[in-house]
């Protein structure tokens, strides 16, 4: 099977981009990259610290720069951060350089997966559950716009998600 040169996972925080992406890469024998991890390595600090010092705007600049650089490489599965699709330039960049897969997971599942996690600064607010809902409504159309494939990810295990994505990629490659 001919794999596309870059497989990009997009979706909300908690949709499984990092977890599923890592397993998908292993399965396909491709390199795994996570844009958030890459930003942390480059800055030498964790994402919440970047938000504290530079605000969301500073983080978004770093994110755009990192996505641009990473998508020049080939043979890779790239997990993006949940907000990677906010900027039109990022959406254009991702969908022109890779096959973009949207992990579509409903807000109540996202909440269950992220409620005890303190590593996502946008969810450190008095009503994180409401925030997730708001972000979902605002971003769902943007994920759809950027995506070549949409995978429903609310119920299956990460392994089942990998199998679904593999099937979709196979179908794409046959056409
Ligand atoms: N398909 C899944 N089923 C159950 N739990 C999952 C699934 N995908 C991810 N998780 C869990 O949800 C949490 C968030 O996953 P993560 O991969 O960090 O999401 P993202 O990178 O999209 O924010 C992690 O604790 C992970 O183990
Ligand atoms: O939704 C967002 O805007 C963000 C999601 C995070 O990534 P995950 O989607 O992997 O949690 C990370 O990029 C940053 O905290 C901002
Ligand atoms: Mg992640």
d(C-alpha 91, C-alpha 87), whole Å: 7
Q: Which residues pair with 8 in a beta bridge?
A: 78, 100
Complex confidence, ipTM: 0.99
pTM value surpassing 0.95:
yes
How confident is the prediction along the chain (175 residues), in pLDDT tens digits per residue? 455 579 999 999 999 999 999 999 999 999 999 999 999 999 999 999 999 999 999 999 999 999 999 999 889 999 999 999 999 999 999 999 999 999 999 999 999 999 999 999 999 999 999 999 999 999 999 999 999 999 999 999 999 999 999 999 999 888 7
Protein residues whose CB sits closer than 6 Å to any atom of ligand 1:
11, 13-20, 79, 113, 153, 156-158, 161
Six-digit token pair at 79?
């997990």
Classified by CATH at the fold level, domain 6-174 comes out as Rossmann fold (3.40.50)
Atom of ligand 2 nearest to the CA of 35: 13
d(C-alpha 18, C-alpha 106), whole Å: 17
The Cα angle at residue 60 between residues 55 and 64, in degrees rounded to 5? 160
């Amino acid at each position: 099977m001919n794999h596309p040169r870059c497989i990009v996972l997009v979706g909300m925080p908690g949709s499984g981009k990092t977890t599923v992406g890592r397993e998908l890469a292993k399965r396909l024998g491709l390199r795994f990259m996570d844009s958030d991890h890459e930003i942390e390595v480059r800055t030498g600090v964790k994402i919440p610290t970047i938000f504290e010092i530079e605000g969301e705007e500073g983080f978004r600049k770093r994110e755009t720069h990192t996505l641009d650089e990473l998508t020049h490489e080939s043979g890779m599965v790239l997990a993006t951060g949940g907000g990677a699709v906010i900027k039109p330039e990022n959406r254009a960049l991702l969908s022109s350089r890779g096959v973009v897969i949207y992990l579509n997971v409903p807000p109540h599942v996202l909440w269950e997966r992220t409620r005890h996690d303190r590593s996502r600064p946008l969810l450190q607010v008095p009503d994180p559950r409401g925030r997730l809902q708001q972000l979902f409504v605002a971003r769902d159309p943007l994920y759809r716009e950027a995506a070549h494939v949409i995978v429903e990810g609310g119920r299956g295990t990460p392994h089942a998600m990998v199998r679904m994505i593999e099937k979709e990629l196979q179908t794409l490659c046959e056409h």
